[in-house]
Amino acid sequence: MSSAKELYNVLGVDQSASDAEIKSAYERLIADNPEGTPLHSRIVEAYSVLSDMDRRAAYDITGKIRKSGVRKHRDGSSNKTENARYALNTLFLAGAAVTTILFILQLSGAIGTLPFYIACGISLLIKIAEYILRLIP
């Protein structure tokens, strides 16, 4: 697609068109252009982008079509970042389990409050680190 408005032109709607207007235009055009016609795939592509709020916003800003469910990254470190986030989330869940056990022990009087507070603090720091990693593209 060459211009930022091409998908809107395919469906024959304005950039300010509502979801209902886009759907109506799509249904009308698909009825007139059954599968196998040259325009059919362009209509389906235009509708798939413009009917998805996130993809439409990205298209309106960049003029480029982003594939569904794909997050673009600047370099190859995205896999490493995702692995680190997964590890931190796993540690957080383990910390939450330990914190729960310590809380129950603290309520029963078997231990003091310090181990419980330490476990809470560690879990919180792990979660903060995971949120910081979300900022890395």
The beta-carbon contacts of 42-45 under 8 Å, at least 24 apart in sequence, are 42/10, 43/10, 43/11, 45/7, 45/10
**pLDDT confidence of 133, banded at 50, 70, 90?**
confident
What pLDDT, on a 0 to 100 scale, did the predictor assign at position 9?
A: 92
For position 25, what pLDDT does the model report?
Answer: 92
The reported pLDDT for the residue numbered 135 is: 75
Tens-place pLDDT, residues 66-113: 776 545 444 445 677 778 888 888 888 888 888 889 999 989 989 988
Query: Mean pLDDT over residues 23-49, rounded?
Result: 90
pTM for the whole structure: 0.48
